[in-house]
Amino acid sequence: MKAIYTRINNEKDTAKHERQLELCRSYLEDGERAAYFHDVTSGLNTEADGLAALMNEVENGNITHVIVQSIDRIARKMVMVNTVLEKMQRYGITVIFADDGTIIDNVDKYQYILALNEYARRIHASRVKQGIADAKERRARTFA
């Protein structure tokens, strides 16, 4: 069975949740059913109930595919993303990142490495952008 995992940061993000669901459902065949797992928590939370329930189903052999909007919906910490994806790889789970169509299957470890590298690149770019914005703000305050 396929599973869809979604995560939003707070209850106010219902529109984001709906967009995640819509995008993930586009990877289901007509009439195909899926198990749904959802969390309302920060991506820094290492004990998200929905993700834990999904991983339990993975370990029990009830899931064959996991569809998630993007790699950062799994977690915000690279080490946690790596742990989750490695476990899915061990259980032969195909992981689909719906936002860019990346498919990581049990055979193609190369896609796994590329997905992690892309995630690390996005995190780095975001931090650099934030650092530049912070520096500009500090400079503006200094000359104000």
- Give me the pLDDT at residue 46, please: 78
Q: Tens digit of pLDDT per residue, the chain (144 long)?
A: 999 999 999 888 889 999 999 999 999 999 999 999 999 998 888 789 999 999 999 999 999 999 999 888 998 787 888 889 889 988 999 999 998 888 887 655 656 666 666 767 776 677 778 778 777 777 766 665
pTM of the model: 0.76
What is the CATH number that goes with domain 2-142? 3.40.50.1390
pLDDT for 104 equals: 82
Q: What pLDDT is recorded for position 111?
A: 62
Exposure string for 104-140, b = 16+ CB within 10 A, e = fewer: bbeeeeeebeebbeebeeebeeeeeeeeeeeeeeeee
